Amino acid sequence: MEWTGEGLLIGVRRHGESSVIAETMVVGRGRHLGLVRGGRTRRLAAVLQPGNSLQLTWRARLEDQLGMFTVELIEARAARLIDDRTQLYLSQLACEHLRLLPERDPHDRLLGMALRLIDDPPDGAALARFELAVLEDLGYGLDLSACAVTGDTDDLTHVSPRSGRAVSRSAAAPYLDRLLPLPSFLTTRGNASPHDIADALRLSGYFLQSHVWGPRDIAVPATRDLLVGVLSRER
């Protein structure tokens, strides 16, 4: 078995004395792992930095084996990311989210969103949309199309923490202390204020904890709280 494709490196772990297991997100193939022989040498260690884009060739005798990667650098981002702490944290968080996905299941939309998060100027609204997209692809997407109570599609202001469905302003009024705010930019094309970004990241974080991190006994990524503070701050 053999294929060649372009991928984003999202994780590396040591294997034996000189090799590593590279975890990648590959166009058309999803999250894919492979052994890189000599991956801890000085030459390859500089290439195998999370956030870098690679040309990958995977080989294995059988399709369900771990297999081996040969790698070539396409785009080196690591040096640039080190100089910008916020962008570095965004890259790390995006990679952590992609590692939640099942192996070998294509998620090209999420890969594209992650690359934009890494390459574009820091954007809290884009991070919130990405986290909601991760939830959707994992099967826990929110329904923000209409009010769960009235069926109205306008003036949606809150989300039920139980059902993940939107609630309109009038239906939400008696239960504000039990509902999560729904920033308008998530349902329209409007701009997002710092307060809106904080609410959006609180919303996505709540459902990630409820459906993903909590059930899998995964700690919330350490960079996320730092990013919420930075990205929801008035500039």
Q: 99 lies in a domain? A: no
Three-class HEC string of 134-163: HHHHCCCCCECCCCCCCCCCCCEEEECCCC
Same domain for 65 and 151?
no
Q: For residue range 25-45, what is the model confidence (pLDDT) as tens digits?
A: 999 999 999 999 999 998 899
Orientation angle between helical segments 85-98 and 124-137, nearest 10 degrees: 10
Residue 98 lies in a domain: no
Residues in the chain: 235
Q: Judge whether 101 lies within some domain.
A: no
Q: Which helix (H) or strand (E) covers residue 202, if one does?
A: helix 194-208
Q: Is the pLDDT of residue 209 over 90?
A: yes
* Residues 89, 96 contacting (CB under 8 angstroms): no
Give the tokens for residue 140: 């826990």
Q: Give kind and range of the element (H or E) at residue 56.
A: strand 53-59
Q: Is the pLDDT confidence value at 191 over 90?
A: no
Residue 108 is assigned to a structural domain of this protein: no
Q: Which CATH number is 37's domain given?
A: 2.40.50.140
95 found inside a domain: no
Residue 116 is assigned to a structural domain of this protein = no
Number of domains in the chain: 2
Instruction: For the chain, give the percent of residues with pLDDT over 70.
Output: 99
- Output the pLDDT for position 190: 78
61 and 143 share a domain? no
Assess whether 131 and 216 both reside in one domain: yes
Question: How many Cα atoms occupy the beta-carbon half-sphere of 78 within 13 Å?
Answer: 16
Domain containing residue 43: 2-76
Inside any domain, residue 109: no
Residue with tokens 């000599």: 38
Q: Looking at the domain assignment, is residue 200 inside a domain?
A: yes
| Same domain assignment for residues 47 and 136 | no
What pLDDT is stored for residue 234 in this prediction? 58
127 and 44, same structural domain?
no
Residues 146 and 207 in one domain: yes
| 103 close to 32: Cβ distance less than 8 angstroms | yes
**Cα separations in angstroms, 206 against 144, 157, 169, 201, 202:** 15, 16, 21, 8, 6
Tens of pLDDT, residue by residue over 113-125, are: 999 999 999 999 9
pLDDT beyond 90 at 78: no
Of 37, 56, 76, which residue sits at a domain end? 76
- Return the pLDDT at 189: 75
72 and 127 fall within a common domain: no
Q: Count Cα neighbours of 160 within 13 Å in the Cβ-side half-sphere.
A: 15
The predicted model gives 144-168 an average pLDDT of 96
Examine the domain organization and report whether 155 and 222 are in the same domain. yes
Helix axes 222-231, 85-98, angle to 10 degrees: 130
- Distance CA(179)–CA(173), nearest Å, equals 10
Q: What is the pTM of this model?
A: 0.95
Same structural domain, 63 and 128: no
Please report how many Cα atoms fall inside a 13 Å half-sphere around the Cα of residue 110, on the Cβ side. 27
